[in-house]
Structure 1
């Protein structure tokens, strides 16, 4: 197997896969590292803004071929159930990460990207080249590296990134349900200590994902009790959970979520997606930010190749665009 590449991308999520597709179509040889096996469910609101569609269509990506559901309304409710409905000027669509990441990976591989299905254990930069070591003790070389390894990774600690020592006091829970909701609407329902998003994804499934402060969750010990006693204080959430049928054996969750500033360049790596910035799901733009960050990184790399920028100039231009 080839061990030296133009570009290595660590993490095959939205940002990593979008960058891989863009860069491969621009003529670079691309190496992807991903520790998970796809398809796989991920904790995510699974709503994307339509702002990324022109770029994805340019790359040959059409999420509606994979079952995406058009969404153009927002429902927002307070803890007491008072709510309002807003027409979204730009709108968006719902699709599960189970479908989306799987199809993006298949597309990237069909273009000629190389996948290493292993955990990256270490990475270091010397003599203008990156050396990347995996859990299976393989080593690869790359001229450029994109870090797209998500909200929190072993590599964040290896790199001693600035947010790893701070208090991270948020957790998120996600599950799919069967039930009846407006297919053209994403709902955000507040509860004490957090908020819950509900929207339709492919195959008539409903994605439910909520974010809460860790201290609000701790007294309840388990997800079921917390949902019954805290989320269901909001009448809208109480009605939903009373009538919907869970499709997962158990919800999935992540903890130690940090909404802290992060550098967009770390030890000469261009950071993308949640590895570069993490915003509250309430904004509804986290997935689109991941895609746009991949676009910025890919365009900077292509520009650097055409105009022979120095590594420093490439990094500065990318950082400025963020």
Structure 2
């Protein structure tokens, strides 16, 4: 197969699919390549900040059709079970990636996006066009390429991205449960070596997703033993796992999660979502950031499609500048928060401060979240 498209998107997650919808709405030729088939569960916290609602409305995406759960409060517990409670300044909603990604996939198809089930293995650029090669020996060409393929891919090594050569100790585990919790609350419970998020998604189901250092995890035979011996040292997690029913046949996992800095443009490829920069899950804002990164880039591409006012290099510079302006401080705040919450001593100090000055917690939350998106 040899074909040309104006814009080719690699990856059909939140960033890739929202970009495809945005560009297709503007009558731009778009092809999206995704290796997986939907619907499919993904390792994710499955909480989205309300800051992206106006952009989703602009795209014609009505998340209410998926019966999301409104979330307005945050609970954080220390390893020993001391609790910090706060309102979420903007609030958000819980929705599974199983439902949301499938919905967006079908929405993109309805807008005429060419959807290909395949995997990109190489990209070449000759200053005129990109050549994209897939595992099924497809060869496609495009004027622009968007990388929206997630946290880590074999493609990263082909592109010689710095972080791809480093081993990362982080492992994430996720499953859905039937449980009796406060539906309006997203909870973050710390344990030795990591932290676990609990929040409702559609169908009265709780998403439990935790991040752990593999050095802590590998001491145990399996996930169940690790949860019993380590997570359940936190009394809130002990209560949850002992009084809930797992919906999944078995949890799903992802390893080698790397939080190092990344570049939003690499080898002339525009990176979106986790491919551009990964915020620590404790910040609860990765899904919103993926969606907003799509909006930033697509507004530039749509504007230039009709006016031709920017060169390729100018679009790269503008996107990089806007991406850094929007996300760099959030990512830095996430790194600092992770260091605090992974230290038992710092957790205790933070809990005392938060309970003494409750107004400080919403202000900290704002450092990892943005303002409501204004669509142009």
TM range (shorter): over 0.9
2-structure distance, mates of 1:275, 1:121: 16
Matched with 1:31 is 31
Query: Are 2:271 and 1:281 aligned?
Result: no
1-structure distance, mates of 2:2, 2:307: 27
How far does residue 2 in structure 1 lie from its aligned partner after superposition? 7.4
Where 2:203 maps in the other structure, the secondary structure is: helix
1-structure distance, mates of 2:133, 2:14: 23
How far does residue 47 in structure 1 lie from its aligned partner after superposition? 0.2
How far does residue 127 in structure 1 lie from its aligned partner after superposition? 3.9
Q: Structure 2 matches for 1:17-96, cutoff 5 A?
A: 17-96=17-96
2-structure distance, mates of 1:221, 1:6: 50
Matched with 1:204 is 204
Matched with 2:357 is none
Where 1:87 maps in the other structure, the secondary structure is: strand
Matched with 1:315 is 316
Deviations 1:32-71 (A, max 9, x none): 0000010000000000000000010111112121121110
2-structure distance, mates of 1:231, 1:64: 33
Matched with 2:99 is 99
Question: Residue 119 of structure 2 contacts residue 135 of structure 2 at CA under 8 Å; is this kept in 1?
Answer: yes
Distance 1:307 1:78, change over 3 A: same
Deviations 1:172-215 (A, max 9, x none): 00000011111111000000000000000001011000001111
Matched with 2:371 is none
Deviations 1:6-32 (A, max 9, x none): 100000000000100001101101100
2-structure distance, mates of 1:279, 1:307: 34
2-structure distance, mates of 1:4, 1:305: 16
Deviations 1:108-143 (A, max 9, x none): 000100001011111111141011111110111111
1-structure distance, mates of 2:167, 2:248: 30
How far does residue 81 in structure 1 lie from its aligned partner after superposition? 0.9
Query: Are 2:262 and 1:224 aligned?
Result: no
Matched with 2:364 is none
1-structure distance, mates of 2:311, 2:204: 50
Q: Structure 2 matches for 1:258-269, cutoff 5 A?
A: 258-269=258-269
Q: Structure 2 matches for 1:160-175, cutoff 5 A?
A: 160-175=160-175
2-structure distance, mates of 1:166, 1:134: 25
Name structure 1 gaps, 5 residues minimum.
Answer: none
Q: Which runs of 4+ in 1 moved over 4 A?
A: none
Query: Are 2:251 and 1:251 aligned?
Result: yes
Matched with 1:177 is 177
**Aligned CA-pair RMSD:** 1.0
Deviations 1:147-186 (A, max 9, x none): 0011010110111101011231111000000111111110
Question: Residue 2 of structure 2 contacts residue 139 of structure 2 at CA under 8 Å; is this kept in 1?
Answer: no
TM-score (norm 1): 0.98
How far does residue 3 in structure 1 lie from its aligned partner after superposition? 1.2
Q: Structure 2 matches for 1:93-132, cutoff 5 A?
A: 93-132=93-132
Where 1:163 maps in the other structure, the secondary structure is: helix
Question: Residue 19 of structure 2 contacts residue 295 of structure 2 at CA under 8 Å; is this kept in 1?
Answer: yes
Question: Residue 2 of structure 2 contacts residue 138 of structure 2 at CA under 8 Å; is this kept in 1?
Answer: no
How far does residue 84 in structure 1 lie from its aligned partner after superposition? 2.5
Higher relative helix content: 2
Matched with 2:295 is 295
How far does residue 307 in structure 1 lie from its aligned partner after superposition? 3.3
TM-score (norm 2): 0.84
Q: Which moved more, 1:56-65 or 1:97-106?
A: 56-65
2-structure distance, mates of 1:196, 1:151: 19
Name structure 2 gaps, 5 residues minimum.
Answer: 324-376
Question: Residue 7 of structure 2 contacts residue 31 of structure 2 at CA under 8 Å; is this kept in 1?
Answer: yes
1-structure distance, mates of 2:304, 2:318: 10
1-structure distance, mates of 2:52, 2:241: 32
